[in-house]
Amino acid sequence: MLMSLVTALSHSHARTADSSLVIKKTSDFKVNGEGNAPNWAAAQWFDITVQKGPRQPAPGKQFSTQVKVLYSEKGMYFLFNCTDRKLTATITEDFGALYEEDVVEVFLWPDTSVPVYLEYELSPLDYELPILVPNINGRAQGWKPWNYNERNKVQHATSTEGGQKKSMASVEGWKAEFFIPFALMNPIAPPTAPKSGTRWKGNFYRIDYDNETTYYSWQKTGGSFHEFKKFGTLIFE
């Protein structure tokens, strides 16, 4: 019964409701930051839109921001297409405080019986921040992956439109494309693909720092991106 429902929903539209998303399966492919692999034709774009940030009285100015998601036997693929005017990005190292500059973020919460989820961030300059976050009664702390190597390392790439990929450059937009292996999420998720019909919780975010700070999200929070109980539902086709 669940399989029939998932199939019907996926044929009608990738986004089944405001709080759920059906994710289609694909064969594995290499990411290049352009999002031009033929595999992406199977996924539909969905918008993430502005919300108020922490201690922010009103949302900032909105630029178009779209996302696609796919999954394979080995992991999950993400593609962000961000309209922009300036690359507010000066950090040139992985595991830096990327959220203090232009960034896109994915939060994945596979096992809702425990308050632990994966947070992945990628900057326009292609620097990453992958952390596991235990969130105990609102007290959240990020932990870096151990033995982060070819077995579980995220594949990632970025590109720009209308300008150079360099700090503070004027642009028309930028793309972020990345592949998160299921192996990276062990033990909060099995290192293999979820079965068809499996449901996870998750959310998608962007922060832009042009003239004013603007926070984007798929499922709206009260300000903090770490309000995991407000995440949407990801349904694996």
Distance of alpha carbon 203 from alpha carbon 226, whole angstroms: 10
The dihedrals phi and psi of 2, each to the nearest 5 degrees, come to: -65, -40
- How many CB atoms sit inside 10 A of residue 170's CB? 12
pLDDT at 17 over 70: no
What pLDDT, on the 0 to 100 scale, is given for residue 84?
98
Beta strand extents in the chain (DSSP E only): 20-25, 46-47, 49-51, 65-71, 75-83, 103-109, 116-122, 128-136, 139-140, 155-161, 173-181, 199-209, 213-217, 232-236
Q: Give the tokens for residue 145.
A: 């992956």
Tell me the per-residue pLDDT of 119-157, one tens digit each, with 9 for 90 and over: 999 999 999 999 999 999 889 889 999 999 999 999 999
Tell me the per-residue pLDDT of 183-197, one tens digit each, with 9 for 90 and over: 999 999 999 999 999
Q: What Å distances lie between residue 118 and 16, 177, 235, CA to CA? A: 23, 17, 17
- Contact (CB, 8 A) for 185 and 18: no
What pLDDT, on the 0 to 100 scale, is given for residue 11?
39
Taking the CA atoms of 82, 154, 101 and 227 in sequence, report the sign of the dihedral they define. Answer: positive
Of all residues in the chain, the percent with pLDDT exceeding 70 is: 93
What pLDDT, on the 0 to 100 scale, is given for residue 18?
73
Region 199-226 average pLDDT: 95
Distance of alpha carbon 183 from alpha carbon 41, whole angstroms: 26
Tell me the per-residue pLDDT of 18-70, one tens digit each, with 9 for 90 and over: 799 999 999 999 999 999 999 999 999 999 999 999 889 889 999 999 999 99
What pLDDT, on the 0 to 100 scale, is given for residue 67?
98
Tell me the HSE value of 126 on the side-chain side, using a 13 A CA sphere.
Answer: 15
pLDDT at 215 over 80: yes
Q: In terms of DSSP bridges, do strands 20-25 and 232-236 run parallel, antiparallel, or are they unpaired? A: parallel
Taking the CA atoms of 205, 68, 65 and 230 in sequence, report the sign of the dihedral they define. Answer: negative
pTM given for the model: 0.92
